[in-house]
Structures are given as C-alpha cells and as structure tokens.
Amino acid sequence: MQHRTSRRSLLTTTAAVAAITALGPPSPAQASPGTAASDRRLRAIIARMSVEEKIGQLFVMRVYGHSATAPDQADIDANLRELGVRDAAELIAKYHVGGIIYFTWAHNTRDPHQIADLSNGIQAAGLAQRVPLPLLIATDQEHGAVCRVGKPATLFPGAMAMGAGGSTGDARTLGRISGAELAAIGIRQDYSPDADVNINPANPVIGVRSFGADPAAVARMVAAEVRGYQDSSVAATAKHFPGHGDTSVDSHTGIPVITHTREQWEQLDAPPFRAAIDAGIDAIMTAHIQFPALDPSNDPATLSHPILTGILREQLGFDGVVITDSLGMQGVRDKYGDDRVPVLALKAGVDQLLDPPKLDVAFNGLRAAVASGELPESRLDASILRILRLKDRRGLFTRPYVTARGVDRTVGTRAHLAAAASVAERTTTLLANPQGLLPLPRGQRLLIVGADPDSPSGTTGPPTTVLAGALSELGFHVRVLPTGTLPSQAQIAAAARAAAGQDAVIVGTYNAGAGGAQSRLVAALVATGVPVIHLALRNPYDIAHLAPGYAASLATYCWTDVELRAAARVLAGRVDPRGRLPVAVPRADDPTQDLYPIGHGLSY
C-alpha cells in the first residue's frame, strides 16, 4: 500500500503552528529575503540562541529511519549506536541540528509520500524547539550514478551524459524539474551540480559525475543547472571546491593531492565555480584534497583558510553558505582528530559541517573551542546568519511543510517523465560504427550479455534486463545472459556459445581495463563472427581497451533506466545519436594520444 502523507503531520501541533508564527513571517515590504530588514529579523533570532543552540545549527546530520518519530526498530538501534538518540525528533531536541541529510541506506527515501511525511516530522521537531527554527533538508540527487530519491520520481541522465548532450537548456530543465520534485517532498537543498572538471580518466570518485573535461563547457552546464534548481526554490550546491577532477585517489578512503599550478587551477578548475557564483548559487561544498599550489601547509582544502577564505570568499567573492563534504571521509580525518576537524573547518571559512562520524565528539570539540576563546561566538553568528539567510531565501520560514497534494501533482508526472526521456535521447554517443551495422532492423534476434553493476536509485532492474525490455518493446527478439563485471572463463565460453544463431550481440562493459575479463569477453564474442555491439555503461574510456573487430560502440555514461531506454531507441534507429564526447578517450597503448577527442560522435 502506498504511504500517504498523514493529516497529523501536515497540521502538526498547536505549539508548532504558534512557533512558526512567532518567527514573524516577513512582510513583502519590510523583510523580503536578503534585505536589511530580513537580516535584522534573522540577527534577532540568533541573539536569542544559546551557545549550544548555535553550535547545533552548524551541523547537517544523517539519521536512520523513514519517520521522524516512529522509525523501525533496526533504525532505532542504529541511531542509538551512532548518535545516542532514538530518532530524528530526539536528534533535533538534543543537538539542535540545523539540517538533515537523506540517504537511501539510512532508509529515509522509500517513496515520495513517506519522504514528505518524514520531512514534515523533521520540520515539526525543529519548530518545537525553544528557539523555533526550520531545518534545511538536503540530499545528493546528482542523477545518473548518484541518486538518493528513486522512482517514481523523475530521473534524468547524469552529469557526463548531460555534458554529451551539451544543451544548457536541457541542463536547466533538469534542475527545474528535479528541484520542483525535491521541494514537493520537503528537500530544499541538493548537493548538486558537480563542478569538477574530470581531466583524469583514472579518477576513481568523480568520473561520470562530472560534465566533462572542457572547463568552459562544464562551467556553462553548471550555471544552467544552478539556475534550474534555484528557479524551483531548491538551494543548489556546487562541489567539490577547489576542484576534484584530477585525482587518482578516492577522498572517501585517502587524501588526494592535486599537483596543478596556480595558473592551471585558474584555467582548469576555477571556471565552473566562478560560473556557479555568477549564477547566484546558494552553497558550495569543499573537497578533502591537498592542493599545495593553493596552500602549501598540506591541510585538506576543507580545513584551509587560504583556500576557503583567501580564494573562495575574498578572491571569488562568494558570501553564500560553504559546507564541508562528509566529515566521515578519510581524506579529512587523516591529519587531525574528529574533535578538531569541525573547529579547524570553521576557522578556515566553513559554515555547515556535514555528517561527522561522532556527533557528540564534534559538538563538544566546538563547545570547548568557544569556551576557550579559540572560536569567538561572533564567528558562529556569522555562519548562522548565512545559513538562516539561505533558509529564508528558500521559503522555509514561511512554508516549512509540504502536502500530499503537492506530491501528487509534482513528483513523477507524465510531463516530467517525458521531458527526461527526451533529454536522454540527446545524450547517447555513437563512438564507432565501422561496419554500418546501426541502426538495427526491427525484428532481429539479439543476445544481450555483459555487466550488471549494482543499480543506483534510477533503475528498476539490472542493466541487461532493462535494456532487453526496452528493445523487446521496440520489436526485437531478445535473449539475456548476464556475465557480470568479472566474467569467468566458463561464463565467457557460455556467452560465445549463446551467440550462435543471433543477428547481433550487445555487450555492456563497466569500467573495463586492458586485458581484463570484460575485454576478454568482447574478444571471444568478436571471434564468433556474429556482429558485436559494445555499450559502455559508465566511463566512455572502455572502448580503448577492447580488441578490434566490434561492429559498433556506444557510450551511455550510466546504466539507469532513462539512459538505457534512450540507448535502445538509438540502436533501433528511432532517434539519431546526437551525443558528443565531453571528455577525450586516450589510447590504451599511448595515453598521451587521443583515440577520440572531445566532441567526437557519429550520427546516422
């Protein structure tokens, strides 16, 4: 049964309603967001807050459960173990946190009505505090490989696919539609778009989350998505400053070092962040990376005063909210203890502290720094004012709650889904078609083999199954034989046998490397003599590692339903492939040379 937003959560309590009234909703003439009158009102709220309430306002925290007050027992246990509270309402009452981040793995995002109910419960808890304040609820809805809110919400292609499409109009449409749907379920901040310029094909953490490798093109797409999200009153968040696109280390598990010179940073990394600021972005997220040319201390950028204050605040002129990447990531924890990281982040210029591993340790570390005078209370006030301005600008003081009707008329509507499908059809990139095999004639017999990576929220099943279903709908006779990302020799042999009698084989690869099992699978299929169509399901670099002889190769940039269904329509000739590579594909035997340059892409 579909969960419906409850009447109780919408009406809240008399106390909560009185609390929001006490905030003094601004009159249009006197206290519109961003005006001097608005700032006076917000400063008056800050003046009423205790030091503990101020410290809490700086944190954006995870919390387990589908409900703010009645999570499942397993989620209660997880909250008690990690946070020392039972649920979101207790977390807010104890620590006065200013924001909550939703995760799929924390069981926050089951379905739109449940999410709306959870959001309303969180807002009711915030407005029940001594100093009533709405919370800023956020998530990572990048689309593509990183997506926390799944179907029936509208899912668009990810950033690199959007970069392949190259349309700023499509990027703004993504932001506008996704923002409207997030706002309808109570999420008013999205940690998107990714403003990193992915110039390193070996980047283990950014890759297809980036719009591409051309700084100017990335800047245009970032600015367009920012405007789209904020058109829908959702705070966009550009990440990861000062730029995470040229790393070979994942900052979740280590500390990446960027070796760019200051001049290279200005040319390669800075343009998308400048464009985001020019577009009026509300927030910028930091990177847990060392950047010696910008700060020789070897502190991660999240803790770097020269980078966050000297460059971001003073040079680039950004006066919005600066938020850390997750403080549970190893890249920010290697050099200092968990009690010192929040203190150093604030001293560097940060406003919001995202999801420390141990909230009590982080909270008490800040309290000790304020008590000792290391952090003046006025420093807390400056960050809180920026946070409250953002909440005010996004309407949380006057419209903290969402409604079931708003969910139904906004989330996953036919018009939104059609727009996403249309955008996706402009992103699929035809890399090679040497035998002129594509498009495929209707009615052919097709074997689909290859990788079935773990599915992000934008999928209804494994990629082979989704692609098979889409091609069947288009009139093909399809057989599926998944072989995984590490096919065994027995699986490779079985796939080669299954190719017999087929008109073509479609093989999906997922980050295939030279000489790896996926490459051996493609070679074995080519050796059967049946035409082989290669589909790169994530990074477009896979084609450089394949043995010659394939009949065609396409890049989808992700394996979500919307991208795979678009690829099926391209294979069937229902739409012309229009995507163009937003990154260069280097040769496997000489990475200094391009196999395919930026902008490459074929049409029918």
**Tokens encoding 258:** 């960027």
355 φ/ψ sector (left φ>0, alpha ψ -120 to 50, else beta): left
**Closest residue by Cα to residue 317 from 262, 276, 257, 289:** 276
18: pLDDT strictly greater than 90: no
Tokens 């000297």 -> residue: 310
CB 129 within 8 A of CB 180: no
467/462 Cα distance (integer angstroms)? 9
CATH superfamily of 425-596: Glycoside hydrolase family 3 C-terminal domain (3.40.50.1700)
Q: For every residue of 207-234, which 3-state class applies, written as one string? A: HHHCCCCCHHHHHHHHHHHHHHHHHCCC
Active site residues: 252, 325
Per-residue confidence band for 247, with pLDDT thresholds at 50, 70 and 90: confident
Task: Please tell me whether residue 430 adopts helix, strand or coil conformation.
Answer: strand
Dihedral sign of CA atoms 539, 544, 546, 550 in order: positive
25: pLDDT strictly greater than 50: no
- CATH code linked to domain 7-410: 3.20.20.300
**Closest residue by Cα to residue 10 from 186, 188, 187:** 186
Q: What is the pLDDT of residue 2?
A: 40
589: pLDDT strictly greater than 60: yes
Cα–Cα–Cα angle for 208, 214, 216, rounded to 5 degrees = 120
395/278 Cα distance (integer angstroms)? 22
Q: What is the pLDDT of residues 282-339, one digit of tens each?
A: 999 999 999 999 999 989 999 999 999 999 999 999 999 999 999 998 778 878 889 9
The amino acid at residue 154 is: T
Q: What is the pLDDT of residue 8?
A: 39
pLDDT mean over 203-223 = 95
Per-residue confidence band for 197, with pLDDT thresholds at 50, 70 and 90: very high
Q: What is the pLDDT of residues 491-509, one digit of tens each?
A: 999 999 999 999 999 999 9
Q: Which of 7-11, 163-167, 366-370 has the lowest mean pLDDT?
A: 7-11
CB 414 within 8 A of CB 377: no
Q: What is the pLDDT of residue 4?
A: 45
Domain with CATH 3.20.20.300 in the chain: 7-410
Domain with CATH 3.40.50.1700 in the chain: 425-596
Close Cβ partners of 94 (under 8 Å, ≥ 6 residues apart): 84, 85
354: pLDDT strictly greater than 90: yes
Q: What is the pLDDT of residue 24?
A: 41
The percentage of residues in the chain with a pLDDT greater than 70, rounded to a whole number, is 93
Q: What is the pLDDT of residue 329?
A: 86
Q: What is the pLDDT of residues 439-498, one digit of tens each?
A: 999 999 999 999 888 766 767 889 999 999 999 999 999 999 999 899 999 999 999 999
Q: What is the pLDDT of residues 96-117, one digit of tens each?
A: 999 999 999 999 999 999 999 9
13: pLDDT strictly greater than 90: no
369: pLDDT strictly greater than 50: yes
Measured between its terminal Cα atoms, the distance across the chain in Å is 46
pLDDT mean over 150-161 = 96
At residue 136, what are phi and psi to the nearest 5 degrees? Answer: -95, 110
464/507 Cα distance (integer angstroms)? 9
Per-residue confidence band for 514, with pLDDT thresholds at 50, 70 and 90: low
